[in-house]
Structure 1
Amino acid sequence: MSANVAYLHAPDAAAPALFEPDTSNPHIARAAGLRDRFAEDAIARDQAGGRPAEQIRLLKEHGLLTLLLPREYGGQGESWSTVLRIVRLFAQVDGSLGHLFGYHYSSLLSPRLRRAPEQAASLWRRSAEGNWFWGNTANSFSKSLFGRRDGEHFVLDGYRPFTSGSHVADFLAIAWEDADTNERRFAAIPADRAGIVIEDDWDGIGQRQTGSGRVSYHGVRVHESEVLGPPVPLDPTGAPAEPWRSVTPLQQQSVLLNVFVGTAQGALRAGREYTVNQSRPWVHSGVERHVDDPWVKRQYGELWVRTRAATALADRALAALDHVAARGEALTADERGAAAVAIAAANVLAGEVALQVSSEIFELTGARSAVRQYGLDRFWRNARIHTLHNPSEYKTRNVGRWVLGEGHPQPGTFQ
């Protein structure tokens, strides 16, 4: 292990282990071990960007890509809460991997929500057998990919932006607009299909290895047997009538909020360990050790309390999403709405806390910590770019409307 990251894993023996998981679940135990492996080069990978190919290989090797699949299709039959606790673990050291891991499952489960149960069963069996990693090119707001009918095929031309995971995917969940009717269609196809160009041009300030750039389509042929369900007319909400068909946003929002939670936890862990092992007291503090400064003690106490509160609210949201998943097609509008409120509330706090912790740790670690070799800036950059994609203002308003008796949020792209 290189010296510039050793402090992240060698805290003082008397220090508490902050935000360590319950490893009684063997999948979470394996993920905790992987987190520590990912941490070894997380700083270098963040600075380089590109593809986390070796990390995806390790996810496959450790059997973590089929957790949510039913056992009859080759999966482990685990809950969303297991997957999202793993998202947190990975985000403690690498927000990109937390993001990719969670979005893999949202894409993998999407065929079941498109009125295509037989196709879903076949895709899930094949995915489990092939140990596929899933990405997506189904951005909801980009009307930039169009398909036209050609016999038994649709021919796709255009592009999609924000295609997280496409650069390391075996299979893609895709969506396009019909060139004639403007209806939206969905499909699942191999990532190496002829005519698909993974541009891999993501250049954001954070989440550097998510591959959230552009995928271009040049005469890509999609057979009608690969199309998932009937076309969906586009409307202002983009939501189908049945509650069960509108749970994808809840899944995706849950991934984001747990990336936030893990980022806050990771920033606090890394900042605390640097402070204990390397920080020097301020010249006017009157103490010999930085950790003895009352200001430092109070500030770390406050950040821990805020992070713990965000974690607790996120745990409540986990339970809400597990309930939604367990209800399946019997899910009611009220049940879906209650989950939407719980997830939105957790998302708001988690994003705010991730930004606060990842910024304020620099005040506590000191000037010598603000150099590239320590990589502490990655936590703030990851949190900042994610919160920009999903402004908390609108989630907070939705919760406020519910508090004032105006009902649950209407299903839509982000809620």
Structure 2
Amino acid sequence: MTTTENRPLTQNWPDAPTTSEGWIARAANVATLLAVDAVERDKGIAAPVHEVQLLKDSGLVTLLGPAEHGGGGQDWPTAYQVIRTVSTADGSIGQLLGYHLLWFWAARLVGTPEQIQAVEEAATTNRWFFGGAVNPRDNDVQVTEEGDQIVFTGEKSFSTGSRVSDVTVLEGALPDGQHVFAIVPSDTPGLSFHDDWDNIGQRQTESGSVSIDHVRVNWSDAAGFVDKKFQPRVYNTLNVPTIQLVFVNFYLGIARGALDQAASYSRDKTRAWLHSGFDKAIDEPYIIDIYGDLTAKLWSVEALADTVALEGKSIHDNAWNVTEQERGEHEVRVAAVKARATEVALEVTSTIFEALGARATASKYGFDRFWRNVRTHTLHDPVAYKRREVGRWVLTDELPEPTWYS
């Protein structure tokens, strides 16, 4: 275990912000606390218990919660900015926050009005932290019916948030193929989280596998079901573009953190090349060019991400009446920014080394973690298929068919 396992991340937080700018500023304060030992925590195996508590204490977990229940009452454009800001310090915690906010929103995506009200009141009031056992690449968890209850049984190879979550979103399929979502306490008997997440990046996301052994849920808690029948609407399919924008923003946050920390190192530690003719590395034209080039590229994708987030706001605001055309056109834009964010984040996190020098590869600086984090998660789904969505729309006006990845 790392020495940071027992270090509480405490601060006397003032009253919750009431504006988007205030929440982004609060996220920056959270990032400052996370940055103190981000390198050390990346090397360890301690569960991010204190980091999740920090997200709760700061109010970020209830950012999207109704104000009447003590939540932030904010929208997705603000949430994306908050995720990006936290990720500048720690990509793992940025991912945890992003996934949490998506699953916090899940009731709105697929639930009935009564379920939405009940879940959001409970989640906001109790500051639940959400995990999700929803990995579509695995064989579906089986859901069977037993009277007024349904029973989930199966395995998922990934369950982000697992051991540090208060509640977990389960997903499985009934015998007729109909998918079912339900929220259960993470300490529910039959729900076993396996401490087997051991990847090169995003090491503190608690994304290990989970076994689901006859976990019972009342039919009334099956999201979107009325009298055991699902009530479909187009907004049900907004989970994919919404979480893809979550991905975009923690990629961009990681890239921003890498670039800012690299620039600080170059100013203070990078030595001019002995044959360069310059006394300071920051006066060398090729180093200036690297930072100028990477910054321009990152700025452009950040701007596109913000624009696409604002475009999506009208869809979230009109959740009960959104059309397939509106949904499809939004997904095309999301696919475009996902492709560019993937490319720029990988470029930034690898190219910074050319401006840092050999000494910067020492493990104590942890510059490699930025690339490892981006490289790990950008393999979530192939970026070529995002470009294909855009290309098909340009050439044939074809809109992406809603799937688990589009």
Question: Under a length normalisation based on structure 1, what TM-score does the superposition of the two structures give?
Answer: 0.89
What SS does the corresponding residue of 1:132 show, helix, strand or coil? coil
Instruction: Check the 8 A contact 2:66/2:121 in 1, yes or no.
Output: no
How far residue 311 of structure 1 moved from its aligned partner, in angstroms, is 0.7
* Structure 2 equivalent of residue 176 of structure 1: 172
* Structure 2 equivalent of residue 362 of structure 1: 353
Larger displacement relative to structure 2 (148-157 or 60-69): 148-157
**Matching residue within 46, 49, 63 for 1:67:** 63
**Matching residue within 289, 293, 300 for 1:302:** 293
Q: Does 1:210 align with 2:190?
A: no
The ranges of structure 1 where at least 4 consecutive aligned residues each deviate by more than 4 angstroms after the TM superposition are none
Deviations 1:39-80 (A, max 9, x none): 001111111144211111111111111221233444222110
CA distance 1:24–1:414, shift in 2 (3 Å): closer
Instruction: Check the 8 A contact 1:143/1:177 in 2, yes or no.
Output: no
Deviations 1:4-45 (A, max 9, x none): xxxxxxxxxxxxxxxxxxx97221111111100000011111
What SS does the corresponding residue of 1:157 show, helix, strand or coil? strand
* Structure 2 equivalent of residue 15 of structure 1: none
* Structure 1 equivalent of residue 251 of structure 2: 260
Q: Does 1:276 align with 2:271?
A: no
How far residue 241 of structure 1 moved from its aligned partner, in angstroms, is 6.2
* Structure 2 equivalent of residue 5 of structure 1: none
How far residue 292 of structure 1 moved from its aligned partner, in angstroms, is 1.2
What SS does the corresponding residue of 1:220 show, helix, strand or coil? strand
What SS does the corresponding residue of 2:54 show, helix, strand or coil? helix
Q: Does 1:148 align with 2:144?
A: yes
What SS does the corresponding residue of 1:285 show, helix, strand or coil? coil
* Structure 1 equivalent of residue 53 of structure 2: 57
What SS does the corresponding residue of 2:272 show, helix, strand or coil? coil
Larger displacement relative to structure 2 (30-39 or 108-117): 108-117
Take 1:144 and 1:339, find their aligned partners in 2: how far apart are those partners? 28
Correspondence list, 1:12-51, <5 A: 25-51=21-47
Take 1:243 and 1:220, find their aligned partners in 2: how far apart are those partners? 29
Take 2:78 and 2:45, find their aligned partners in 1: how far apart are those partners? 28
Take 1:158 and 1:366, find their aligned partners in 2: how far apart are those partners? 49
* Structure 2 equivalent of residue 193 of structure 1: 188
Identity of aligned residues (%): 38
* Structure 1 equivalent of residue 220 of structure 2: 225
Instruction: Check the 8 A contact 2:278/2:284 in 1, yes or no.
Output: yes
Matched residue type, 1:207: Q
Matched residue type, 2:268: N
CA distance 1:134–1:115, shift in 2 (3 Å): closer
* Structure 1 equivalent of residue 335 of structure 2: 344
* Structure 2 equivalent of residue 97 of structure 1: 93
Larger displacement relative to structure 2 (302-311 or 326-335): 326-335
Deviations 1:93-144 (A, max 9, x none): 1111111111111111112222422122111111111111111012122115
How far residue 283 of structure 1 moved from its aligned partner, in angstroms, is 2.2
Take 1:333 and 1:71, find their aligned partners in 2: how far apart are those partners? 30
* Structure 2 equivalent of residue 138 of structure 1: 134
* Structure 1 equivalent of residue 281 of structure 2: 290
Matched residue type, 2:218: H
Instruction: Check the 8 A contact 1:370/1:376 in 2, yes or no.
Output: yes
Take 2:256 and 2:69, find their aligned partners in 1: how far apart are those partners? 35
Instruction: Check the 8 A contact 2:244/2:334 in 1, yes or no.
Output: yes
Q: Does 1:319 align with 2:310?
A: yes
Take 2:375 and 2:59, find their aligned partners in 1: how far apart are those partners? 31
Instruction: Check the 8 A contact 1:73/1:121 in 2, yes or no.
Output: no
Q: Does 1:383 align with 2:383?
A: no
Take 1:360 and 1:259, find their aligned partners in 2: how far apart are those partners? 19
Take 2:110 and 2:76, find their aligned partners in 1: how far apart are those partners? 19
Instruction: Check the 8 A contact 2:69/2:125 in 1, yes or no.
Output: no
Matched residue type, 2:40: A
Question: Under a length normalisation based on structure 2, what TM-score does the superposition of the two structures give?
Answer: 0.90
Matched residue type, 1:252: I
Instruction: Check the 8 A contact 1:50/1:211 in 2, yes or no.
Output: no
What SS does the corresponding residue of 2:290 show, helix, strand or coil? helix
How far residue 320 of structure 1 moved from its aligned partner, in angstroms, is 1.8
What SS does the corresponding residue of 2:172 show, helix, strand or coil? strand
How far residue 395 of structure 1 moved from its aligned partner, in angstroms, is 0.4
Deviations 1:262-293 (A, max 9, x none): 11111110111111111111222221111111
Unaligned runs of 5+ in 2: 1-18
What SS does the corresponding residue of 1:330 show, helix, strand or coil? coil
What SS does the corresponding residue of 1:355 show, helix, strand or coil? helix
